[in-house]
């Protein structure tokens, strides 16, 4: 026996379909019943295929238990989320790397969603990192920043060429010096520092670098 809700579904949708047949205007029908064109055509197709039975709203299919993550794996996902605040991708990687458990990123996400853990607490959400601002010194030579940039060119015959630009900038005066080298090593780093010392019109007290390999072990200036 048809319940009251099913009768209301049929009455509403039949009314909309009849209105469209009489008006000969789908857009007007959609505006009148506050529905989308896609919804209208879904109702129309369902009625043509199944009659009034096709107009009854059915409950969504229950979740397939065979596709659900096992209980003990779900507990591990929840533990990693609540303890370390890992995201779905990192949880997936962690389980595979350390426990040999294969769960996709989307699988981890749906576990978090089902347990209402898809959003981190307000105080744990990642904040955007502030942009680096160079700390300027008012005394020339007090701090000189040295950086190395990689440059790429194409030769006339199409060959890829790589060069290394060493740049030194004084924080106080913004005076700069640069040289381009064919290799990225400690010998060229020492040569560049000597070049900077000779070019800058003031005594250099401190040189800052990114501590990469050319300024480490054998570097002695």
> What DSSP string describes 30-90?
HHHHT--HHHHHHHHHHHHHHGGGGGS--PPPPP-GGGSPPHHHHHHHHHHHHHH---HHH
Judged by average pLDDT, the poorest of 78-87, 114-123, 156-165, 208-217 is 208-217
**What's the Cα-to-Cα distance from 56 to each of 135, 165, 198, rounded to whole Å?**
69, 71, 87
Instruction: Report the alpha-carbon distance of residue 177 to residue 170 in Å, rounded.
Output: 9
Asked whether the beta carbons of 29 and 41 are under 8 A apart, the reply is no
In DSSP terms, which residues pair with 168 in a beta bridge?
Answer: 146, 177
Find how far residue 75's CA is from the centre of its chain. 26
Instruction: Report the alpha-carbon distance of residue 29 to residue 52 in Å, rounded.
Output: 19
Whole-model pTM: value is: 0.36
Segment 135-180, tens digit of pLDDT: 555 788 888 998 888 888 888 888 888 899 999 999 888 888 999 9
Instruction: Report the alpha-carbon distance of residue 2 to residue 220 in Å, rounded.
Output: 91
């Amino acid at each position: 026996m048809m319940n009251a809700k099913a009768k209301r579904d049929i009455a509403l949708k039949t009314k909309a379909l009849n209105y469209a047949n009489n008006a000969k205007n789908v857009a007007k029908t959609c505006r009148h019943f506050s529905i989308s064109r896609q919804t209208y055509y879904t109702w129309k197709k369902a009625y043509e295929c199944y009659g009034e039975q096709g107009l009854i709203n059915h409950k969504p299919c229950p979740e397939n238990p065979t596709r659900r993550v096992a209980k003990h794996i779900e507990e591990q996902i929840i533990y990693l989320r609540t303890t370390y605040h890992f995201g779905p991708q990192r949880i997936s990687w962690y389980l595979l790397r350390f426990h040999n458990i294969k769960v996709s990123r989307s699988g981890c996400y749906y576990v978090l969603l089902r347990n209402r853990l898809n959003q981190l607490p307000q105080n744990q959400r990642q904040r955007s990192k502030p942009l680096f601002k160079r700390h300027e010194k008012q005394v020339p030579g007090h701090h000189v920043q040295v950086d190395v940039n990689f440059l790429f060119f194409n030769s006339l015959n199409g060959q890829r060429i790589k060069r290394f630009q060493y740049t030194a900038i004084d924080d106080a005066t913004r005076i700069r010096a640069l040289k381009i080298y064919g290799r990225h090593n400690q010998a060229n780093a020492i040569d560049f520092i000597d070049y900077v010392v000779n070019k800058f019109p003031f005594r250099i007290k401190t040189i800052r670098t990114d501590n990469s390999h050319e300024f480490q072990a054998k570097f002695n200036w």
